[in-house]
Structure 1
Amino acid sequence: MLWILYLVFISIFVKAEQIEERRPFFINCGSDSVTNAEGRKWIGDSLSTGNWSLSFLGIMVSTSSIKGDAEYKFLYKTARIYNTSSHYNFTVPPGSYCVRLHFHPFLFAGFNPNDSLFDVLANNLKLVSNFNVSGEISWRNLINNSSSTSLVKEYFLNVNSYELLIEFLPSSGSFAFVNAIEVIPVPDAIFLGFVRKVGNSGFVAPLGVGGHGLETMYRLNVGGPVISPSFDQLLWTKWETDERYMFSVNAASTMTNISNISYVSPNDSFFAPLLVYETARTMINNEVAEKRFNLSWRFEVDPNFEYLVRLHFCELYYDKPNQRDFRIYINNKTAADDYDVFVKAGGMNKAYHEDYVDAMSMQIDTLWVQLGPDTLASTPGTDALLNGLEIFKLSHNANLAHGPDKINGDEPGAAYKRHKSKSFLAAFSAGFAALITISLASAALFFFKRRNVANQEKPLGWHPLSLHEMMGSTAKARLAKLPLISTSSTPCNRIGRRFSLGEIRAATANFDQSLVIGSGGFGKVYKGEIGNGFLVAIKRANPFSKQGLTEFETEVDLLSKLRHRHLVSMIGYCEEENEMILVYEYMANGTLRSHLYGSDLPSLSWKQRVEVCIGAARGLHYLHTGAETCIIHRDVKTTNILLDENLVAKIADFGLSKPGPTLDHTHVSTAVKGSFGYLDPEYYRKQQLTHKSDVYSFGVVLFEVICSRPVINPTLPKDQINLAEWALRWQRQRSLQSIVDPRLDGDYSLESLRKFGEIAEKCLSDEGRNRPTIGEVLWHLEYVLQLHEAYIQCQVDNSCTKSSLPFADFSFILPDTNKVQGETSSNAEGETISSLQGRSVQSLFY
């Protein structure tokens, strides 16, 4: 045995002698040249050295031009494509490393990056699974409202041996590609020490890259500009700005101080450059009477993982303790209270960071970071401050990928394990020949079985209707023969017609892009034609959308139960070949927003706008009161109000809808969902959803109808960015006519406009209990229309004076809806006709 140990020590010693001190590798993939840029030397991967090698050369591809404003243009003109498994082998000393993978898809020969699907592993750590670069870029652009054409994936891991293998494993029939790779040694201290568990009474636990792999999800310079990698000579990290992730940018102010900033300890210099600590965000309304507002950032993340949230602090203003106390919330749980940056750092202009860890459940894909006033603190001004923010995903069972764990029958880290086996055998080949033979035979048998299983398994699919317990062969046969609209209440018939994928392809000319009439988080919407020229809208799920399955289920479940003149009708669906497709009635005049701004469509008159609002209110009123149970839409906005050929308004998109509270409850506790600019602040603060949340969103719609501008416009001055806040100030000054859409050109009565503004103002009350019901809003909108029609009639008769108006000018007093309804009669579709003191008014809803 001594000679065996001797061989081991000799092998390790020789390997160590071959390695220089820890240094970075910057690899330009698909290149055979050396490029010096941003203080770094990028080596083409065709020029492998003794310190690294490439197992399979694959295919070198290049392009003469870069699409879009790519940051690393000099790198992204080349790439290396693999149609079989391959790996880069780096000879490195043990320790912690940062690995960055650069992707910039471009077309070359027969390789379309949209068809690329692959896994990437680093040693035994799975980084991505069934990864499609184009889909990931599209999804990030959608949620971040950006237009990037490239993607950088950054990871941290620990290397225990002297080898780092980065493997690329393409899916069967597909290929993998990469444009550039960075391998950078990092100080072990960057992820060592203790971290606080959120919501666990301050419990602290050890953190280390040795026990986890980490993926960088977000890195933000809070309140400051983009910091390019050239400003960080240690790790070459890029810091984004934080505006796009803030819940309300104009609710925070920025602070800058570039004098005498230093780190609390020398190790703190590893975590962020001083530029991060020179800027910060603070609260803009810290002196209000009721301190309820928080600085809030929202991030899309992968569910079912733990996340490390790293907050960077530096007090830039106060030079004494107990001047700024606040609380830190992560995922709406208290991470720290009575937090004083000055006290924690031991002075002003001293930079440091705090780490927190929290776990996301399988149902939650949004991570919130909030800083807000500590109402119990005795400080002069309860305020909050943050300089920088990082979010890292922690690996689970050696996996960072959000997807299946196997591909092509190969185990995660197979190449890494094979390579280590070869190194081991080189040292012990004489004594273990028989063992090698047995191991190879077992591996071959294992691989063969795995491959058979993989060939038998279908690709990852959605299987969206499994929850309905109605997809047996008999039910499928019945559904395929259903008419276009099914009104039967039996469970097996309630969904409507099931279209084949062939019918959908024929209706959309094989998803012709010229037929796209809209797009969103779920996917694209196509104009289609079925039967004898019957026009439909066909919504096709993007397989890379994180909204897909839940929204599909919700829409199918709700719309199969609802029929109303002011709700968009679902005609049917398609579920074949992993597609999720919904078929709706076609709305010829598109969205309400497209008639207000952002298109060349003709402007709506004041009367048409009021009638559209009335129609939308009728649809919401039916959801809240006319359905079997109260339904809260949760995403009321002008893009979800559609207009048919007669400009009749209909509510659409029920993917976020939720059943309302039962009789013995006042609200539904749920994670915050909705659209920025329309979101009810009370729902956001308390995570308590009520039908009054829809009323708030509808109030924003009313102001949008008046002003014809986006609800959030970051290009405007600070006090105008948020439409609701801006319009509400003008309304409270009783000067709403100053910001009315100029295209209306005075074609409205001031009385009707004033009443319309009062309705919107009531809808935007901060507390739900002070808002009207949607039925009350509807009643007053009817009154607005009557005021306008009376005004028009006076104009025709040339007899317009205030005294000639047939309706009294009463203040906004919410009516008793029980009295308002009076005698009602209902038909099968839920129609209700109301009367008020013997005078006929328009029906509350159809």
Structure 2
Amino acid sequence: MATVQPRRWVLLLVFLRFSSLQFPSVGYNVPDKYFINCGSNNDVTVSGKVYVGESNPVARFSRSQTESSGSQVPSPLYQTARIFPCESVYDFNIDINGTYLLRLHFSTFSSSSNLSSARFNLSFPGGFSMLQKFDDDNSALVKEFFMQITSPTFRITFRPLPSSFAFVHAIELFVLPHYLIADQVARFTYSVSNPAMSPYSGVLYSQVLETKHRLNVGGKTTIDSLLRKWIPDDTYLAYPESAHNSSPYNDIKYRANVNSDGPNANLFSAPTDVYGTAKVTKIMSTNASDVEYKLSNITWSLPVEKNTNHFLRLHFCDFFSLQNDLTVFNLSIYDRLVLPINQDPNVSSVLPAPYYYDFVVRSDDSGLLQVSVAPDASAYVHNAFLNGLEIMKMIALPNSVSVPSDLGKSNSKHHLPVLLGLVLGGLVLFFVVVAILGFLWLLKIRKQNPVENSNWLPMPVIAGGSSHSRLTEESVQGSSLPKINLGLKIPLPDLKLATNNFHAGQIIGKGGFGNVYKGVLKNGMIVAVKRSQPGSGQGLPEFLTEIMVLSKIRHKHLVSLVGYCDESLEMILVYEYMEKGTLRSHLYNTTLPSLSWEQRLEICIGAAKGLHYLHKEAVGGIIHRDVKSTNILLNENHVAKVSDFGLSRKGPLEHQSHVSTGVKGTLGYLDPEYLRRHKLTEKSDVYSFGIVLLEVLCARPVIDSSLPSEQMNLAEWGLLCKSRGVIQGIIDPSVKDQIEQHSLRKFSEIVGKCLQEVGSDRPTMGDVLWDLEYALVLQRGLHGNNSISVSASLQLSNVLPLPSFSTPSQVSSG
């Protein structure tokens, strides 16, 4: 094939004007132009649209290099490609000012040019994207942009990197309906202290929007009338077990026309295939024998660029409820409550009504954007759902609205030395400043007391391997984990050796994160190895949180983190081995020997010490947020240690009363105040711990659907029996005769205080610890160990009681 290679390829596309195209209030038709089948003389039809060959008589072209596929391709569009060995442009005549969609198609099919090796910059007026790498797997890549065009000509420029080339398979450029995306939207600003909604100060169409994700939540892959591709959401679910797909609903009725602007959707907002399917919350058992239920929150975690503004659109359609306002649920972004859904008076009251909400959200430095929906306990129907989700990166427009044809020539040569000088000078200044700050910081650290808190144990240091790691990569690029202890890294081969290559025979437990294996490290240490499903990406926030929390704290009653591994898409946490397993496994549905009442009290005291340390002595204060009997582990001596810090949150600051956050935890253990108001405090852990105390006393699941309705919920049933004075009737028969009555009275009093409806009425964990030790004194001093005096037995672990709680003097008088 003959090929001409001038310094600049100019592919001038002179198509017919949109002379007859208008936008009546009742409709919009997708224009027929521009849809181009690049590198071909033939037209192809895809999804009902004709992509014209570049030799079509309505256009003039210079000769250019083309490439044809030698293998099967995913679409006729990828059968041919246009190759650019040097800088080249496409020019389009624009006859109608408005918002346009630009879509560029790429695929690395098998060819003589080895398309996967292409490296080039792609630019256009108002936007710039560097395509650095293509995967050599014949997969299709579609780059999609939304932008406002007001100039008579629109140019797309391809600039190959040195010794490389550029290519494209197909181009789409067409004007969109006027009200597809509003010009002004709300900005959600999230912070620990004050998450808030406010108007976005900029004009949305002063930006270019680049599509990052478009999900048909709960549905299948579908193509809509604007040729947008919606894909299933399953791979982005943080907790797949918490949701299920709804049955498709086909009778979607749009309440708005193309001249209306949200929140009610029109037929171009999203197709009926999106609004007619959804992910819906469900209550599911995490343990078939114990009937433990997980809270039905649904969280999507989607990769995005760090610290960048994104346009977020969330689609809803309630085809579940019989009438409006029955289903009300909460929407959260980055664990911050945004708003209750279905409370907007502007949403149609006629069901099913498709609608959407738009937000501008700035991503954090985790590289993930998290969206959650959660049931509202006060609603008539405890349900939450989402039908569709779109995320677009916002690219700021430059001052100029066009790309000059001589871009990159003589002017760049004159300015190159100046630019290099500025860059090098800036780097030198940066490193000097960093060196000075680092020196001052070291001086400050050395002046401080180097002795750690006496409750902390030495941190083990295990040499890490050289394999590629997400955490080390992020650290180089500005990690979201600046204080992570990389000395805790354990090479993946060492963990494979320790667990016999993760053999099924080594599994000692299973959870939402993954399997837990028993292992033996090279130094002989027996460990528990918790491994996420390799490559799933699910549970990444919990994985990072666990490392950050446990690498900072050490306590006798907190499970120690031995190390972690994040090589080869693995997420593995390594803990000290707790031989006796979970507290739950010793209480019910078990073949293990029953724990004595005194053992149970000592275990509760140990767990309370661990939680009290988290709340008051750990740096900044930490709220566990998932206290339950399966997260209290026992070593060979039945010493209790609190585990699983994946949902932990830093406690409120001094001037704050709570932390505003989405609801996470386990149903049956959740603080009702936190569930209703999304206000998390230390007292939320106190409530959950009160449920654990009831489990210890009664040895039954916290939720048991096989029981009569009044007995189904352990908290409600326990408080009812206590108020009736019949709590003796629900005590575990194996310890019923062991409990001294004064100890039982004190223990049931603790439970009642922990389970107060209002958090401010509950005791602190320090108070709970004091009373539990008092209950143990009563048990030992008045039953079975009379030789030990009450006053001599009382050990308060340096925790002073509040005046309203029992004191040693009361023991003497009793």
TM-score range normalised by the length of the shorter chain: 0.5 to 0.7
Counterpart of 2:313? Answer: 309
Cα distance in 1 between the residues matched to 2:37 and 2:583: 48
Could you list the runs of 5+ residues in structure 1 that have no partner in the other structure? 1-10, 44-48, 63-72, 105-110, 135-149, 285-293, 376-380, 400-415, 426-434, 479-485, 736-745, 791-803, 808-817, 828-833, 840-846
Change in Cα spacing, 1:525 to 1:695, as seen in structure 2 (3 Å) is farther
Question: In 2, are the aligned partners of 1:314 and 1:351 still within 8 Å (CA)?
Answer: yes
User: Within 5 Å, which residues of 2 pair with 1:416-815?
Assistant: 424-425=405-406, 438-439=410-411, 441-442=413-414, 488-489=451-452, 496=459, 500-501=463-464, 508=491, 510-515=493-498, 529=521, 533-534=524-525, 554-556=549-551, 558-559=552-553, 562=554, 564-569=555-560, 586-589=576-579, 592=582, 604-607=592-595, 610=600, 613-624=604-615, 631-636=622-627, 640-652=631-643, 667-672=657-662, 675=665, 677=667, 680-683=671-674, 685-698=676-689, 728=715, 748-749=734-735, 763=754, 766-771=757-762, 773-774=764-765
Question: In 2, are the aligned partners of 1:15 and 1:162 still within 8 Å (CA)?
Answer: no
Q: 3-state DSSP class of the match of 2:229? A: coil
Question: In 1, are the aligned partners of 2:702 and 2:713 still within 8 Å (CA)?
Answer: no
Change in Cα spacing, 1:217 to 1:190, as seen in structure 2 (3 Å) is farther
Question: In 2, are the aligned partners of 1:100 and 1:182 still within 8 Å (CA)?
Answer: yes
Question: In 2, are the aligned partners of 1:538 and 1:581 still within 8 Å (CA)?
Answer: no
Change in Cα spacing, 1:806 to 1:649, as seen in structure 2 (3 Å) is closer
Deviation of the 1:547 alpha carbon: 6.7
Query: Which amino acid in the other structure matches residue 577 of structure 2?
Result: M
Counterpart of 2:256? Answer: 264
Does the alignment pair 1:390 with 2:393?
A: no
Q: 3-state DSSP class of the match of 2:579? A: coil
Change in Cα spacing, 1:132 to 1:757, as seen in structure 2 (3 Å) is farther
Counterpart of 1:291? Answer: none
Question: In 1, are the aligned partners of 2:177 and 2:258 still within 8 Å (CA)?
Answer: no
Cα distance in 2 between the residues matched to 1:727 and 1:120: 62
Cα distance in 2 between the residues matched to 1:835 and 1:214: 68
Change in Cα spacing, 1:581 to 1:747, as seen in structure 2 (3 Å) is same
Change in Cα spacing, 1:242 to 1:655, as seen in structure 2 (3 Å) is closer
How many residue pairs align between the two structures? 658
Does the alignment pair 1:213 with 2:209?
A: yes
Deviation of the 1:339 alpha carbon: 2.8
Cα distance in 1 between the residues matched to 2:583 and 2:160: 45
Change in Cα spacing, 1:496 to 1:469, as seen in structure 2 (3 Å) is farther
Cα distance in 2 between the residues matched to 1:521 and 1:552: 14
Indicate which of 346, 350, 359 corresponds to 1:357.
359
Does the alignment pair 1:274 with 2:275?
A: no
Q: Percent identity between the aligned chains?
A: 20
Deviation of the 1:693 alpha carbon: 1.7
Cα distance in 1 between the residues matched to 2:594 and 2:627: 21
Deviation of the 1:270 alpha carbon: 1.0
Cα distance in 2 between the residues matched to 1:297 and 1:120: 38
What are the superposed Cα offsets for residues 400-441 of structure 1, whole Å, 9 maximum, x if unpaired?
xxxxxxxxxxxxxxxx99xx66xx25xxxxxxxxx9763463
Deviation of the 1:607 alpha carbon: 1.3
Instruction: Report the aligned-residue RMSD.
Output: 7.8
Change in Cα spacing, 1:276 to 1:710, as seen in structure 2 (3 Å) is farther
User: Within 5 Å, which residues of 2 pair with 1:183-194?
Assistant: 187-189=176-178, 191-194=180-183
Question: In 2, are the aligned partners of 1:56 and 1:87 still within 8 Å (CA)?
Answer: no
Counterpart of 1:4? Answer: none
Query: Which amino acid in the other structure matches residue 236 of structure 1?
Result: K
Higher helix share: 1
Change in Cα spacing, 1:182 to 1:244, as seen in structure 2 (3 Å) is farther
Counterpart of 2:33? Answer: 22
Deviation of the 1:568 alpha carbon: 3.2
User: Within 5 Å, which residues of 2 pair with 1:120-199?
Assistant: 123=124, 125=127, 155-158=144-147, 162=154, 164=156, 187-189=176-178, 191-197=180-186
Change in Cα spacing, 1:442 to 1:780, as seen in structure 2 (3 Å) is same
What are the superposed Cα offsets for residues 727-781 of structure 1, whole Å, 9 maximum, x if unpaired?
556767879xxxxxxxxxx983567999999987875655324545445666787
What are the superposed Cα offsets for residues 602-660 of structure 1, whole Å, 9 maximum, x if unpaired?
86444189465553233223434667986533444567544434453322465765665
Question: In 2, are the aligned partners of 1:305 and 1:395 still within 8 Å (CA)?
Answer: yes
Deviation of the 1:229 alpha carbon: 0.6
Cα distance in 1 between the residues matched to 2:663 and 2:235: 20
Cα distance in 2 between the residues matched to 1:569 and 1:445: 55
Q: 3-state DSSP class of the match of 1:615? A: helix
Q: 3-state DSSP class of the match of 1:441? A: helix
Question: In 2, are the aligned partners of 1:310 and 1:356 still within 8 Å (CA)?
Answer: yes
Cα distance in 1 between the residues matched to 2:702 and 2:104: 37
Cα distance in 2 between the residues matched to 1:390 and 1:340: 22
Query: Which amino acid in the other structure matches residue 228 of structure 2?
Result: L
Change in Cα spacing, 1:119 to 1:777, as seen in structure 2 (3 Å) is farther
Deviation of the 1:269 alpha carbon: 1.2
Deviation of the 1:265 alpha carbon: 0.8
Deviation of the 1:21 alpha carbon: 3.9
Q: What is the TM-score normalised by the length of structure 2? A: 0.54
Q: 3-state DSSP class of the match of 2:358? A: strand
Q: 3-state DSSP class of the match of 1:395? A: strand
Q: 3-state DSSP class of the match of 1:617? A: helix
Counterpart of 1:339? Answer: 344
Change in Cα spacing, 1:209 to 1:436, as seen in structure 2 (3 Å) is closer
Deviation of the 1:307 alpha carbon: 3.6
Cα distance in 2 between the residues matched to 1:169 and 1:705: 67
Does the alignment pair 1:237 with 2:209?
A: no
Deviation of the 1:782 alpha carbon: 7.8
Q: 3-state DSSP class of the match of 1:238? A: strand
Cα distance in 2 between the residues matched to 1:275 and 1:612: 53
What are the superposed Cα offsets for residues 73-122 of structure 1, whole Å, 9 maximum, x if unpaired?
968xx999xxx999998887766336588999xxxxxx9x9xx9999966
What are the superposed Cα offsets for residues 556-610 of structure 1, whole Å, 9 maximum, x if unpaired?
4x42xx4x421234679999x9x9999987325396399689xxx9864441894
What are the superposed Cα offsets for residues 323-347 of structure 1, whole Å, 9 maximum, x if unpaired?
7897986653559996336xx54x7
Question: In 2, are the aligned partners of 1:255 and 1:279 still within 8 Å (CA)?
Answer: yes
Q: 3-state DSSP class of the match of 2:231? A: coil
Cα distance in 2 between the residues matched to 1:835 and 1:248: 49
Cα distance in 1 between the residues matched to 2:130 and 2:594: 53
Question: In 2, are the aligned partners of 1:328 and 1:370 still within 8 Å (CA)?
Answer: yes
Q: 3-state DSSP class of the match of 2:100? A: strand
Query: Which amino acid in the other structure matches residue 230 of structure 2?
Result: T
Question: In 1, are the aligned partners of 2:237 and 2:299 still within 8 Å (CA)?
Answer: no
Cα distance in 2 between the residues matched to 1:18 and 1:88: 24
Question: In 1, are the aligned partners of 2:310 and 2:392 still within 8 Å (CA)?
Answer: yes
Cα distance in 1 between the residues matched to 2:170 and 2:584: 44
Q: 3-state DSSP class of the match of 2:230? A: coil
Deviation of the 1:704 alpha carbon: 8.3
